[in-house]
Structure 1
Amino acid sequence: MIINKKKLIYTWENLLKNKKKKIKKLIYKINKKRLNEKIFPKKKEVFNVFRFTKFKNIKVVILGQDPYVKKNQAHGLAFSVKSKNNFPPSLKNIFKEIKSDINKNIKFKSGYLKKWADQGVFLLNSILTVSYKIPGSHINFGWEEITDYVIYLINLYHFGVIFLLWGNFAKKKKKFINLNKNYVFCASHPSPLSAYKSFFGCKHFSKVNKILIHQKQEIIDWSID
């Protein structure tokens, strides 16, 4: 399937217009909580996933659950951490699988995944904020409505996008994806608690590039440096 991305002239701002009021209410609620507790990511970084990857450039969607809960880690991209941070366990396992799948000699000196985002890998968390040291603390705040709609839009307007759904939480989003026009690969979550079930050995990274070659698109350079 050959994709003409030039036809996709839509922008995130236009596509999310009808969710603008909902998003404003969510941000107001979260900013009130920021007065009394630590919330991640920072205000200016909550929507980085939309800033770093334009809608028309999406090739791959990797879906996470919610941001990292420790200081100076989350910055608006799923599974990514700011430069000079230690790799969280899930990210360590992602890098381990890439080395096994693509090239064992790839070096990962940073966990900052903006290089992937710049190439069209949309690193979306289903929930865009979290309270310090409380995983899942913003579940049912309303983010799911927004991010489910984002997945719906990607599926609606794109052909040949590859969705990587890791873990049961992500797999629930499969219902928004038309398998006759886009691709879905599922595996267990890369967390140490579940990576051994089906994440290790899933070879999702090489599978993505094989599809992109078939589509006559640039492959993803999964290295970071």
Structure 2
Amino acid sequence: MDAAQPLAPPVDAGWAAALAEVEPRLRAIAERLEADAVAGRAWLPAPERVLRALELPLEAVRVLVVGQDPYPTPGHPVGLSFAVDRRVRPLPRSLQNVYRELHDDLGIAPPAHGDLSAWAEQGVLLLNRVLTVPAGEAGGHGGRRGMGWEAVTEAAIRALVARRDAAGRAVPLVAILWGAQAQSLLPILEGAEGVDAIASAHPSPLSARRGFFGSRPFSRANAALAARGAAPIDWRIPEDPEAPARLDVGA
């Protein structure tokens, strides 16, 4: 995309090739977002963070975590699904529930911050189904009248499923799908060679008790990786004693 567009293209060559077929859609989305910004209609996250999840190289992805859309609270979304800036307090309720399940599943004490980059660094792709949201309006850029992000994220996930190693074997992938929007990807994932899908309710406080709590996605993902001869994920999230002062941007 040219410099006039508000979105930076994926920095990884693998993702750039994978999304070539949806480049017209990406340009159309960028134009709509630019028009909204000019008209004073704020949207999130910041432009340089919209495609941040795709900074993780395509070939490095081992686990895919799919959510719905970014947090609609200004200051919260950072381009990685469910993550927030490590200074944000209080943590979003959905993330608090993720941490509760992490503790119940693996006994890992929840950190005080919401920076999930330690997962991304191990090959966990934290991808929302829709990558932008109007400020204060959850779900406002998704669905039939939305921006069209679903076609982009579907193309990304089809590229993950299609990966092969040097011997022509499917590259192992575990997909963790939280919520109905994420589960719309099941037809692509179920039955695909080398892919395991773990689906449950979304960790939102509105749905967490309807199948998210007790779903044990973290241990199940590691078991699936091990069964395919792949290394597990260390789901621990380190605290940072030198973290900057908290940034209180609301619940």
Whether these two folds match at TM > 0.5 is yes
More helix by share: 1
Query: Which residue in the other structure is 2:210 paired with?
Result: 197
Query: Which residue in the other structure is 1:211 paired with?
Result: 224
Query: Which residue in the other structure is 1:34 paired with?
Result: 37
Residue-by-residue CA offset, 1:84-132 (whole Å, 9 max, x unaligned): 112111110000000011015x241211111111111111111111111
> What does residue range 120-135 of structure 1 map to in structure 2 within 5 Å?
120-135=123-138
Query: Which residue in the other structure is 1:95 paired with?
Result: 99
The answer as to whether partners of 2:68 and 2:179 remain within 8 angstroms in 1 is no
The answer as to whether partners of 1:109 and 1:224 remain within 8 angstroms in 2 is no
Structure 1 segments, 4+ long, off by >2 Å, are 211-218
Are 1:73 and 2:86 an aligned pair?
Answer: no
Instruction: Report % sequence identity.
Output: 29
Residue 47 (structure 1) shift? 0.5
The answer as to whether partners of 1:155 and 1:178 remain within 8 angstroms in 2 is no
CA-atom RMSD in angstroms: 1.6
Q: What is the CA–CA distance in structure 2 between the aligned matches of 1:62 and 1:125, rounded to whole Å?
A: 8
Q: Choose from 11, 14, 19 the match for 1:11.
A: 14
Residue 15 (structure 1) shift? 1.6
Q: What is the CA–CA distance in structure 1 between the aligned matches of 2:213 and 2:21, rounded to whole Å?
A: 40
The answer as to whether partners of 2:22 and 2:151 remain within 8 angstroms in 1 is no
Q: What is the TM-score of this pair, normalised by structure 2?
A: 0.81
Query: Which residue in the other structure is 2:187 paired with?
Result: 175
Q: Please, which runs of 5 or more residues in structure 2 have no aligned partner?
A: 1-11, 164-169, 239-251
Q: Please, which runs of 5 or more residues in structure 1 have no aligned partner?
A: 1-8
Q: What is the CA–CA distance in structure 2 between the aligned matches of 1:20 and 1:223, rounded to whole Å?
A: 36
Q: What is the CA–CA distance in structure 2 between the aligned matches of 1:109 and 1:34, rounded to whole Å?
A: 33
The answer as to whether partners of 1:110 and 1:224 remain within 8 angstroms in 2 is no
> What does residue range 48-67 of structure 1 map to in structure 2 within 5 Å?
48-51=52-55, 53-67=56-70
Q: What is the CA–CA distance in structure 2 between the aligned matches of 1:82 and 1:188, rounded to whole Å?
A: 24
Residue 10 (structure 1) shift? 6.7
Q: What is the CA–CA distance in structure 1 between the aligned matches of 2:178 and 2:48, rounded to whole Å?
A: 27
Q: Number of paired residues? A: 215
Q: Choose from 184, 191, 197 the match for 1:184.
A: 197
